[in-house]
Structures are given as C-alpha cells and as structure tokens.
Structure 1
C-alpha cells in the first residue's frame, strides 16, 4: 500500500534531482524543513525494525539515503527479490549483481513513472559538480563526445584565469598526451548551449507550422539512420559471436596441449588468462549489441514521443539540465577547421532522443553572397600569412626568445587571476581553506600523520 505522505516526499526528491539539485543539497533542504527521515517516520507509525530505537536526529537526512531512494525500482510499482545471497564462507548476506535480481513488474501502485525514473538515472549518471561533487552541476557533462575517438569530453570551468567553461576530449589528456586522440577538440559550453537552443526553437517552429510534414520527415530520417546503424551493429554482432566460438576451440586446444606436455604450465596460464579476458569482454559486448538491435524494433512511435516532448515546453531560451537530458542523446564534437583561430568553423552533430540526428530545414546549408565569399577568402589568406610568419620565427628561434621573455610576466598575470577566482569561491563558500577550519586537540591514542 502506498503511503500518501511518504510518497509526496519521494516524488519531491525525484523532482528536485531533475531540477539539478544533488543528493547532499536535497538532504540539507529536507533537514532544514524538518522532514522526518524514513526510519523515524516508520517508527512514528509503529512500523519498521527501528520502532523502539532512540534517534540521534530524526531530521538527519544523509546523501546516501537520498541516493538509495533515487535507485529504488519499487517506486515504479515493481517487486524486487533476491538482491542478496548468503555467502558460504561467512554466512552473511551480500548484494548480488543487478542481472541476478528477480523483478515482478506491476505488483502495486507506482509512485514514480518510468520516464521520470529513467531521466533521473541519466542525470545522476552524467552530472559532475563543481568543485568537489557538492556544488554547481555542469549542464552538458556526459552528453559531449569526441567525434574522432569517441571519448567523453570533460568540462574545465576556468581557463587561463577566466571563468570560461570549456569541454575537451578526455582521451587526448591521458598520458602520453596526444597518443589516444591527437587533438583536444576544444569547444566552449555557451557555444553548444546556444546551438542546441536555436535548433530546438527551429524544430518547435517547424512542428507547429506543419505537424504532418514534420512527422513524415522525422520518420524518414530516423528510418535511414537506424537502417545504417542496425546494419553495422549486426555485422559486429556476427563477428563477435564468431570470435567467441573460435576462443572456445582455442581454449580446448591449449588445454589439451598442456595435458599432453606440448605447452608449458606458465605459457598455458598466460594464454588461458588472455583468452578468458577476451571472451568475457566479447560476451558483454554481444549482450549490449543484442539489446540495441532489439530496441530498434520498438521505435515506431518515437516521432510522436518526440513531438510530445517538444510540446511540453513553451520556449527554449534557457536550457536546464533536465531539458538537456530529456532531449539530447549525445553530441559529437569535431576538431576546429583551423586550430588556434577564434574565427573558424567547427562541426557539431546533435543526436536527439527518440529520433537520432535530425536537422530542421532552417539549419540547412546557406548560400553565401559573392561579397561574403570574398571576405572569407581574404580572412583565410591573412591567417595563412600570419601562420607562415609564425613558422619562420619558430625556425629562426625568434619565437622562443620572445616566449621566454614574456613567460614570467604572463604566468604571474594568470596566477593572479586564478587567485582572484579562488578568493571569490571562498567568499561564496564553494571552497573552505584548511587554515580556516577549527583547530582540534589530538585525542588520546590517535595517530597524527
């Protein structure tokens, strides 16, 4: 049976997460409003295992409690059994992997609908908070990917002493730098947000002007994308399954060679571990590919769902974390056409939930006038000329002498700007310097590092 009062608290926790609040922030809010923690609420009604317990703080919400609530599938109306299993060694219950649970669906009245639950899981899986997991969330984290290597793009909130949020490829930064991905694919956050906003406005206008035509175009675009994607995934699925079969044969072969003395024990152990690891990775990939291929068969009504999502919002001037995760599946960022140049082009591919990559007619290629083409040509010529001059200075050593001359001054300027930013954050309570923490006397028997 659903408790109406407790259900409202659960709904509010999910709603606050969608609005961008983190578990710690939600816990602090509930504590300040004197909302009873779950165990205290149950005890008040004579229920639960803690009804005779004396609580230290009946309003002492913790972030871990919020996280547990946000992960409970029971709120969807399902019954989940066999989450734990007793271990034969210590006879204690241990949590088992999620794929070993037994889920009985629709056994009671749901509190949270599936769409809200999925959105919350996506937000919690993507969001990273500044500076240490407790503060402000980066809206595009988990949505941007490098178009060349496929790696996630991470946000950097300060750059050279400026508060400019930029995303760069995570694979580029891994040591050795530039080995896994050759360039950073750097892009400013406000550029991507502006592009997404303008595209959603154009889509909403297009859908409002001629809904039937919009549905037809979306379905055609979706069908062509899925056909190509499914074809690639089916080819990869067949290849992976064939390799798994080959590995089974190889494992049997090296085992027989080891028993017959044709293969040493050390060599057998090395090959066995190698084949087992590859087999495990392929099995996981096959499972994911099979799910992906099956999911394409269930997308017949996705165009209608996307239109319903468009109709849900009146405008797209300000994009929230919830809106971005509702609309965006992923964003692929290509490298800039000319690195180091402010005025350059950079391709960005936006893939929407339900419909994939859809570009409204308003975002089609624009024909430039002869005057505009001439201006672009002159600008590019000037950039080429400046770059050649830079290469000449670099070859002669003049560039290095100049950089060495101004290095100290530039470094001091940047450090001063960073210090000012840190001072602002300390004043706002984002950072707490260790020196400002209250002094504590060493306790008896405690070790001091």
Structure 2
C-alpha cells in the first residue's frame, strides 16, 4: 500500500479504526507524517478521524500507545495460555514432527507414523554408519522419497497442505540435520524451544536450558543410545580436508592423552593415501605450545586394535554370560569411590536439619511480627539459618546426583550386556558397531619417536562401562627367556644408534640420506601422477597454483 501511496495512485485511506492500520505507536506517527506529505486523506470511521476535513484528533498519539498496549496485553494472555498448556506436559506445537501423527481419538497425543518413522530410523542409522547430512539428502533425493512437507501435505496436515511444493523430492542437508537434533524422537515432549514477539511475529530460538522437557509422553522412534551416539558424531566429526567429503569412522572418538584435545584425521599424500590421526592442539600456532607432540598414529592400526578388542569381549562373554555379567557389574562398582552407606546416613541428617531450620525461620519471623524479637536480631538470625540451610541443601543435592549416577551405572551394565548379545554373531566390525561400543579412545605418544620398532599405548573406553580389558588380552608377566630376548633387542637398538651417530659425525649419513631422498622423491612423483590421473577420472580436481602476477604500476624485472 505504501508503494502505491508513493506512486500517487492512492488519494484516500479508510479504516474502521486506527488499530486496523497499525499497533506500533512509533511507526504510526511516521506513517501519518508520510501520508500528510503525500497529501493522502486518512479516515478512521469509528474514531471520527478525517484529515481531509481538517479534523485531526490531538489524542491520536495516545490512542496509538493504547493500541500497542492492548496488543501487548493480548499477547501476554495468549502466552500465559500456551505456557499453562506447555507446563502441563501437553504438546504446544501446531503439528507433530515428521514421523508422528496426531491421535485421531485424542489430538493432544502423538502416535507413530508407520510410513515416515522408518525413514527417521534410517536417517539415524546412516549417520551411525558415517554418512553426513548432505550424503543422506542426496540418497533420499535419488530414491524419490517425499520430503517431510510433501508427506504431511499428502496426509492433509502441516503448514503446506494448501500450498504448491515445487520440488517434492528435493531433500536438503539442513532438513536431515534438523531431524537428527529432535529430542521428540526419544518419546519426549519438548516445549518452548522458540519464542515469538508480538511485534515482528517472528520465532526466535531460545537456549536449551530454557526448554521444558517431559519424558516418555509418547512412543519413541529412536532409543537413547542411538540418539546420544549420533549427537556425539555430529558434534565432533570432521571431513577430510582434501575435498573427498568423507569422514573416517574413528573421527570423534580419538583424544590426546597429554592435552585431552581431539585428534583429527589427515591424509599422508606422499605417494600413498594413508589416514593418520594427529592431535588437533599440536599444530596450533606456535606449534607445540598447547601440546608437546603430534601423537601421530595410523588409523588402520587403531581400527585393527579396536576390532580385535571388541571381538575378544564378545567371545569372552559368550563363554559364560553369567560370569561375564558379574565381572562387568564388579568392574563398574570398582569405579565407585563413594561409600553410599555413609552417604545415605549423612543425607538423613541433612534432611532432618533442613526441616529444623525451616521451623526456626518460621519461629523468628513470628517473634519479630509480635515484637518479641528486634529487626536487627531477626536479620542476623535469619541470615545465619538461611545460610546453613542453603549449604546443607547444596550438599544434599550433590549426594542425590551421585546416587542417581550410581543407579544409572548399575543400569549401564545391563545395557552393555544387551549390546554384546546383539552383536554376538558379528563377523567383522562395522561403523555402526564401532560407534555403539566405543565412547572414546585415548592415544599416548610413542615411547621411541622416529623408530619403526616402537610401542604406542592406546586406551579404549566403552560406552556404559568405561575402560575394560578382557582377561584374554591382559598383559602377562614375561618369562625369563622373554626378558633375556628383550634385553638383547635393546642392546642391538643401542648399537645401531651408536653407529648412526658415528656416520652422522663423519658426513656419511648425510650423503646416504640425500641419495635415498632423491630416489624416493622420484618414486613419489610418479605415484602422485598416477593418483592425479585416478582423481581426474573420478571427477576430483585440485586447484593449480596461481603464478605470481606483478602489481599494477610496477615493472616486472626479468
């Protein structure tokens, strides 16, 4: 309308009252001034406003303020209604997320959509297998799976049921990522994730700590373990930096033992494509300040060790399930450093004293009101009692948290046993299996850097139970013969190292290294050419270096 006013196509605007034109008093003042300059007549029938007849109510600015206040008041009342509904545990969303439908008998209840739910499960499953949102979206688009908006429109629900969907099978990575973040698939009701302002009518996301979550309100599509593993993968995964767009299965699981930082995968491209993991803090400038070494380790070696460990755990469990269950439970209890018997006694004492303090606070309040206790004395006693009460309450809350963690750990043993039983017949380790078993892998530095004959320790922490080494893989005490062999081996290493130092001193080592380097460089260059040719056949291209171009105004010297 304002565009038509500026063009001069509108001469008169008639409204029922000024609130129909707007409820923002600042914008209304600017609008009336704009209409006056454009010589446009404004008529508000119910309020008797007619700028064309020279009658302009001086009370109009106050009416605008009242109109805005009215809109704000209505907004508050609507919000309070939604808040009451949301706090009662009912869904406040206008339509359920993809994978659910409203119950035909009770619109406040959600039931599983048997058509869409398998798609949701497949999205989570593919993420566990190492696929990213873009890869999943591309796959679904190729399979002509209807997007969530199209599927809901076909069912006659959602916001797109009366709109035309131009690309009904075009999945996007943002759609996949949005689905992977929804706690509703766990069977929970999540309210107040967004907030809308009464002026701009736009929804704004709020912090997660302001959400209101009611657990187990409807049937879940995804179990908690799968959801947690997906969030961990999504939060830590990093694609190869060379444009291949792949993610190594170990990404998000590897951590440095010294600095605790994440380890990231790199491709060694010296004629071979060998994935290596290095500490992410080591390379940060200046190099070596945040972490003393790179903790470099081949991904294939880690995969081999992890696969062997998981296989040993499964085989050991299959021999005697009851004994394995007792051992896992004992392993979890050994991690507990708290005497819960004494803790429960202390909790009883804290609860009793908190109740006594509450009665004392009520007593001094009554004495102060009756004039038996001065205000100064009341304030001093109140602060004393309240401070002790808050201290005891904090201690009690800490005990309750530890108790809840202990109970959760007890359940974790059963969950791990269930996981082992599920993969009892697995022949090889898959990416899904890796992510379901392993929580994190701690990598230590090699004990002899620069040597092929070295040892590098890694620690494998399993989901639910933490670090665990099956008895079949436990280190055994070496025999005297093995100790003697180890001594001879170390002596040979020292002798070779002394010979190396002599060659380095007389210059022969440098000559040998230069000859070896030149020979190896020729081999690597040839292998790189072959790799580049393979990449071009696959459609993978690398940017060629741009030659230095002289700046304008300066002459290039040849």
Shift of 1:392: 4.3
Confirm or deny that 1:203 pairs with 2:313.
Answer: yes
Name the CA distance, whole Å, in 1 between partners of 2:434 and 2:412. 17
**Deviation, structure 1 residue 378:** 2.8
Are the aligned partners of 1:25 and 1:134 in contact in 2 as well (CA < 8 Å)? no
- Structure 1 residues 231-289: Cα deviation after superposition (integer angstroms, max 9, x where no partner): xxxxxxxxxxxxxxxxxxxxxxxxxxxxxxxxxxxxxxxxxxxxxxxxxxxxxxxx999
Per mean C-alpha deviation after superposition, the further-off stretch among 29-38 and 87-96 is: 87-96
8 A Cα contact 2:128 2:435, kept in partner: no
C-alpha distance in structure 2 between counterparts of 1:15 and 1:152, whole Å:
24
Q: Which of the residues 54, 73, 80 maps onto 2:190?
A: 80
Which structure has the higher relative contact order (CA within 8 Å, separation 6+)?
1
2:132 maps to 22
Mapped contact 1:23–1:64 kept (Cα < 8 A): yes
Alignment of 1:367-446 (within 5 A): 367-394=477-504, 399=509, 403=513, 407=517, 410-411=520-521, 413-429=523-539, 431-433=540-542
Helix, strand or coil at the partner of 2:115: helix
Q: What is residue 163 of structure 2 aligned with on the other side?
A: 53
Where do 1:6-405 residues align within 5 Å?
Answer: 6-86=116-196, 92-131=202-241, 135-227=245-337, 295-315=405-425, 317-394=427-504, 399=509, 403=513
Give RMSD over aligned pairs: 3.2
What SS does structure 1 have at the residue aligned with 2:268? coil
Asked if structure 2 preserves the Cα contact closer than 8 Å seen for 1:22 and 1:134, the reply is no
Shift of the alpha carbon at 1:309? 0.8
1:269 is aligned to: none
Shift of 1:292: 8.1
Q: Name the SS for the 2:281 alignment partner.
A: helix
Cα distance in 2 for residues equivalent to 1:374 and 1:206: 32
CA distance in 1, matches of 2:336, 2:197: 45
Task: For residue 74 of structure 1, report the CA deviation from its aligned partner.
Answer: 1.9
Describe the shift of the 1:362–1:108 C-alpha distance in structure 2 as closer, same or farther (beyond 3 A).
closer
Structure 2 Cα separation of the partners of residues 290 and 140 of structure 1: 35
Secondary structure of the structure 2 residue equivalent to 1:109:
coil
Pair 385,174 (structure 1): closer, same or farther in 2 beyond 3 Å: farther
Contact 2:332–2:410 (CA under 8 A) maintained in structure 1: no
Aligned to 1:331, what secondary structure does the other structure show?
strand
Q: Secondary structure at the match of 2:130?
A: coil
Q: Describe the superposition over 1:188-208 as per-residue Cα deviations: whole angstroms up to 9, x where unpaired.
A: 112212212222222222222
Larger Cα Rg: Structure 1 or Structure 2?
Answer: 2
Contact 2:332 2:409 in 1 (8 A): no
- 1:409/1:392 Cα in 2 relative to 1: closer, same or farther (>3 Å)? same
Q: Using the TM superposition, give the Cα deviation of residue 331 of structure 1 relative to its aligned residue in structure 2, in angstroms.
A: 1.3
The 1:178–1:326 alpha-carbon spacing in structure 2 relative to 1, beyond 3 Å, is same
- Provide the rounded CA distance (Å) in 1 between the counterparts of 2:398 and 2:515: 55
85-94 or 71-80: bigger deviation: 85-94
Determine helix, strand or coil for the equivalent of 2:230. Answer: helix
Contact residue 130 and residue 248 of structure 2 kept, 8 A = no
Cα 1:201–1:417 change in 2 (3 A) is same
**CA gap 1:406/1:202 in 2 versus in 1, 3 angstroms:** closer
Compared with structure 1, are the counterparts of its residues 146 and 434 closer, same or farther at alpha carbon in structure 2 (3 Å cutoff)? closer
Asked if 1 retains the 8 angstrom alpha-carbon contact of 2:314 and 2:424, the reply is no
Deviation at 1:105, TM superposition (A): 2.6
Q: 1:182 to 1:289 in 2, by over 3 A?
A: farther
Q: Which moved more, 1:402-411 or 1:38-47?
A: 402-411
Structure 1 residue 412: deviation in Å? 5.0
1:42 and 1:51 in contact (8 A); partners too: yes
Give, in whole Å, the separation in 1 of the partners of 2:139 and 2:304: 32
* TM-score of the aligned structures, taking structure 2 as reference length: 0.61
Would the aligned equivalents of 2:225 and 2:436 in 1 still touch at CA under 8 Å? no
Which stretch of the first structure deviates more once superposed, 298-307 or 122-131?
122-131
Q: CA deviation at 1:60?
A: 0.8
Q: 1 CA distance for matches of 2:223 and 2:483?
A: 53
CA contact (8 A) 1:197 1:317 kept: no
Give the secondary structure class of the aligned counterpart of 1:5: coil
Deviation at 1:396, TM superposition (A): 5.7
Q: Could you tell me how far apart the structure 1 residues matched to 2:489 and 2:277 are?
A: 27
- Does the residue aligned with 2:213 lie in a helix, a strand or coil? strand
Aligned length: 377
- Classify the secondary structure of the residue corresponding to 1:423: helix
**Compared CA separation, residues 354 and 106, structure 1 to 2 (3 A):** closer
For structure 1, the 5+ residue unaligned runs are 231-286, 436-449
SS in 2 for 1:174: coil
Counterpart CA distance in 1 for 2:420 and 2:324 is 12
2:113 is aligned with 1:3: yes
The 2-side partners of 1:67 and 1:388 are apart by 58
The offset of 1:303, in angstroms, is 1.9
Match of 1:284 in 2: none
Structure 1 residue 75: deviation in Å?
Answer: 2.0
CA displacement 1:38-83 (0-9 Å, x = unmatched)? 1122223332222333322111111111111111122222222221
